[in-house]
Amino acid sequence: MPSCKEMTRLLSDSLETRLPWPKRSAMRLHLLICGTCRRYRRHLLFMKKILAGRKPLMSLPDAAKQRIKDRLAKKTAD
């Protein structure tokens, strides 16, 4: 069974992607017995809901986005 520290990562990952069934099962089991992690999950879901309805504060120009992508690609290539 995952520790509470591992659960924070799993819970965050589960908001973005579907976890493999062994991890989902371990996460559900942990949530059954750990009130602190259940509360953390509720907070994550609340923040996701609140942030989903907001417009971005600003948007980068396409040229800036491309410069960032190019620099990141260069760093990973090194």
> Whole-angstrom Cα distance, residue 53 to residue 49?
7
- pLDDT for residue 9: 92
| Residue 71 neighbours by CB under 8 Å, 6+ apart | none
Per-residue model confidence as pLDDT tens digits over 17-64: 999 999 999 999 999 999 999 999 999 999 988 888 777 777 889 999
Per-residue model confidence as pLDDT tens digits over 55-76: 777 788 999 999 999 999 887 7
> Whole-angstrom Cα distance, residue 73 to residue 66?
10
Q: What is the pTM of this model?
A: 0.65
- C-alpha distances (whole Å) from 21 to each of 14, 28, 53 are 11, 10, 30
Does pLDDT of 78 surpass 70? no
